Amino acid sequence: MLFDHTHAELNAVRAEIKAARQQQRRTSKLDPFKGELLSFHRAGASIRELAFWLRTRKQVTVHPTTILRRLQQWQQEAAD
């Protein structure tokens, strides 16, 4: 019986955490440069070139993998 209550309470906590996580919109320091990054990428710029541009022109340091993932996310959002 105690186990049933504990199990039910744990499920309730997990459901609340899941709901809170779904409501959050993760922001990125790349978001202010979305239009420029997408334009450069469509024009043929490599991820490495985008990272260099951000670092030297915008003083934003991010790993190239972060740029790649964000571009993929933006393209997926546009497709939906």
pLDDT 10s digits, 20-59:
877 666 788 999 999 999 999 999 999 999 999 999 999 9
Residue 14 has pLDDT above 60, yes or no: yes
Which tops the pLDDT comparison, 55 or 4? 55
Percent of the chain with pLDDT over 90: 65
Q: pLDDT tier at 80 (50, 70, 90 boundaries)?
A: confident
Which residues are CB-neighbours of 38 under 8 A, at least 6 positions away? 71, 74
Q: What is the pLDDT of residue 72?
A: 95
Continuous segment of H or E residues that includes residue 73: helix 64-79
Domain that holds residue 34: 2-79
pTM assigned to the model: 0.68
Interatomic CA distance for residues 34 and 39, integer angstroms = 8
Yes or no: say if 67 and 49 are a contact pair by the CB < 8 Å rule. Answer: no
Burial class (CB in 10 A: 0-12, 13-18, 19+), 65: exposed
Q: What is the number of domains present in the chain? A: 1
